[in-house]
Chain A
Amino acid sequence: MIEGILEYLNQTEVIKTIVILGSMGLFFVGLFGLLSQRHIIKVFISIGIMEIAVFILFIGLSFQKGLTAPMLGDAHTSFVQMNDPIPHAMILTAIVIGMAVLALGISFAIEYYKLTGKNRLDQMNEMKH
């Protein structure tokens, strides 16, 4: 029984369907948070969730079953039977950039809170006359 389920789950189509459904579910969780939450930190968390969803989608779909990680090591001396390294490199860059942007955003939010005591987007009204 368990083995049958594992066998079923191990098919490429099934894995990719799970990846698509899961990451898109995550994306819409993030989008919902972005549209419904007004606390600045929660908005940043929602943005983080949306980013992660896109990363999972991309890595999950570009992965091919039966191929190894694109690294040379003891057993692998040439670039054959390996996954495409470009999505990994891209997503690694994107993760770093996304983290930097969120860290910067949180530092702005902290400074803003220190000055004004406000932590919600709908309270941000310095410009309204």
Chain B
Amino acid sequence: MSSIYFIALPLLFGFATPIFAKFGKNGIAYSSVLLQASLFLLSIQLFVTMDKSIIEVIAIAPPLGIALILDNVSIFFVMLFTFLVLMGSLYYLKLREKNPYQNEAKFFILINMLLASAIGLVLSSDIFNIYVFFEIAGISAYILSAYRKTPKALEAGLKYLITGAIASIFLVFAIALIYLHLGTLNLALISQGFTALESDIKLLISLFLLIGFGLKVEIFPLNFWVTDIYEGSDAFTDAFFSAVVVKAYLFVFFHIVYLFLPHKEFTLFLLYLGAVSMLIAEIVALRQTNLKRLFAYSSLGQVGLLFVAFSMQEAVSITAGLYILLAHSLAKMVIFLSLASLFEKYKKEDISLFKEMNSPFLRNIIIISMLSLLGIPLLAGFVGKFLLLKSIAFSGLFVLLGLLVLASLIESVYYFKIIGFMFSKEERGEKFSLSTLQRAVLLTLTLGIILIGIAPFLISDFIATASSVMIDVRSYQNLLLGAN
């Protein structure tokens, strides 16, 4: 039953805050970090002691009841999310001394809700539970986005909320159609019955699912407001949006695609959608001057790349996708967390900030993260990009290959522009150094990027199993229905 702790404990944290508040003014902050640390350790423990494939199936009165599945691929996401949220919370422990959020108890509740719902999205194998976690993640993200209550933050929150509400309507519509035609909400039963449906109903359901999830995973052309949302929110919360929330939605979307629509025709569309999305995002990113906006466009580009990787529907490219996802989450966490400190210090969000910045440590780790996003060898981003381009080349999709290489070239232009700003010989102010804890957090994340880049074989077995589990629909069905 341990996988239920990942969802229940962070949610229960909210109710327990009055007790933690009794431990002094740091009580809530430290207990939140403690909770996330223990969840991370729990996920490590589950990972270490797991069997070859399945770890845990919790099915309460299937096929109607709740079912949670913790298998190789979902443990990957659980470990990633708990780790990233833990790192973010540790970083915030120092950030809050100078620039805390108002009503911090609420802020910690929201962060934990975000963690619980991201994990819930990944674990649940019931489409209505997915809808509920979809909404919990959405609501906590809207509030986090508007948390500062400045005009910009409120505008971002409103835009996030409107897109999210539209997304949830289409998701409910899709779920209603699925239930009316198949009479079940269980993912395994739906995936068994889905191929037998009439083709126009299938098209309608997949269209609604694409709109519903597309608004959340920031795919072109549904990402019109995403950059506004990133710019209006705090850099600290952007780190969570980019590294955790979007990744959870992305995984669920492709999990549903593999289960329902394992046809090449549908995924060919997603493939080119991803490539076009990446190309457009990188082109628009070129002329951005606001840093949050610029890195938001870079996130959109990376999501496009992930769309390509997951739409290939082959174990090799999914492996590549998981590597890219891991590298991107780590890098964006580093970048947005360091931006949060830099904005707070220099009181500006413009790209010229890097001309004033005087902090060799932050400069170096931001450069390492950007080079990793670009896919420079010996960094984590290279492994995924290389595997993906190789598998595309083997499939003979050379137009797609050309689009991706072109997008990466454009991406490199603005990354190198930023690096140029960092080394420009301008007058720089006094040296800015972070506290030890913040350095440790950023250093851990950066070491992760370097370690995966130098020695991908450390995790290659695990990721290869995870990707083969993710695409293996038949054994997922057996796993879920066999639990009866």
Contact B155 A126 (CB under 8 A): yes
A86–B175 Cα distance when bound, in Å, is 12
B453 at the interface (CB under 8 A from A): no
Contact B179 A100 (CB under 8 A): no
Contact B172 A127 (CB under 8 A): no
Mark contacts of B56-84 with chain A using CB atoms, 8 A cut-off: 1 yes-contact digit, 0 otherwise.
00000000100000000000000000000
Name A105's closest neighbour in chain B (CB-CB).
B161
The CB with the most chain B CB atoms within 10 A, among A57, A98, A127, is that of A127
Contacts of B128 in A (CB 8 A): 90, 93
A68–B257 Cα distance when bound, in Å, is 37
Contacts of B151 in A (CB 8 A): 112, 115-116, 126
Known pairs A86-B179, A98-B168, A116-B151; A105 contacts B231 (CB<8 A): no
Contact A54 B172 (CB under 8 A): yes
Name A43's closest neighbour in chain B (CB-CB).
B162
Contact B169 A54 (CB under 8 A): yes
A65 at the interface (CB under 8 A from B): no
Mark contacts of A2-19 with chain B using CB atoms, 8 A cut-off: 1 yes-contact digit, 0 otherwise.
000000000000000000
Indicate which residue in A43, A98, A112 contacts B154 across the interface (CB closer than 8 Å): A112
B176 at the interface (CB under 8 A from A): yes
15 contacting pairs across A/B (C-beta < 8 A):
A43-B162, A44-B165, A51-B165, A54-B172, A54-B176, A86-B179, A101-B165, A104-B142, A104-B143, A108-B158, A108-B161, A121-B162, A126-B152, A126-B232, A127-B232
Name B157's closest neighbour in chain A (CB-CB).
A108
Known pairs A97-B132, A101-B135; A111 contacts B176 (CB<8 A): no
Contacts of B172 in A (CB 8 A): 51, 54-55, 58, 94
Mark contacts of B129-162 with chain A using CB atoms, 8 A cut-off: 1 yes-contact digit, 0 otherwise.
0011001001100110010011110110111011
A82 at the interface (CB under 8 A from B): no
B234 at the interface (CB under 8 A from A): no
Contacts of A57 in B (CB 8 A): 173, 176
Nearest-Cβ distance from residue A21 to partner chain B, whole angstroms: 16
A104–B289 Cα distance when bound, in Å, is 32
Contact A93 B228 (CB under 8 A): no
Contact B176 A58 (CB under 8 A): yes
Contact B155 A112 (CB under 8 A): yes
Contact A97 B168 (CB under 8 A): yes
User: What count of chain B residues pass the 8 Å CB interface test?
Assistant: 39
Mark contacts of A63-103 with chain B using CB atoms, 8 A cut-off: 1 yes-contact digit, 0 otherwise.
00000000000000000000000110010011001101110
The CB with the most chain B CB atoms within 10 A, among A57, A108, A109, A121, is that of A108
B290 at the interface (CB under 8 A from A): yes
Known contacts A34-B166, A40-B158, A104-B161, then 10 further A-B pairs from the complex at CB < 8 Å, ordered by chain A residue? A51-B165, A54-B169, A90-B179, A93-B132, A101-B135, A101-B138, A108-B146, A111-B149, A115-B150, A126-B152
B88 at the interface (CB under 8 A from A): no
**Chain A residues in the interface with B (C-beta under 8 A):** 34, 40, 43-44, 47, 50-51, 54-55, 57-58, 61-62, 86-87, 90, 93-94, 97-98, 100-102, 104-105, 108-109, 111-112, 115-116, 121, 124, 126-127, 129
Contact B138 A62 (CB under 8 A): no
Known pairs A97-B135, A127-B231, A127-B232; A50 contacts B169 (CB<8 A): yes
What does DSSP make chain A's interface, helix, strand, loop or mixed? helix
Contact A104 B139 (CB under 8 A): yes
B458 at the interface (CB under 8 A from A): no
Nearest-Cβ distance from residue A27 to partner chain B, whole angstroms: 8
B163-188 with Cβ < 8 A to chain A:
164-166, 168-169, 172-173, 175-176, 179-180, 185
A121–B161 Cα distance when bound, in Å, is 13
A104–B139 Cα distance when bound, in Å, is 8
Contact B158 A109 (CB under 8 A): yes
B425-480 with Cβ < 8 A to chain A:
none
Nearest-Cβ distance from residue A90 to partner chain B, whole angstroms: 6
Name B231's closest neighbour in chain A (CB-CB).
A127
Nearest-Cβ distance from residue B130 to partner chain A, whole angstroms: 12
Contact B64 A86 (CB under 8 A): yes
Contact A105 B162 (CB under 8 A): yes
Indicate which residue in B155, B168, B176 contacts A101 across the interface (CB closer than 8 Å): B168
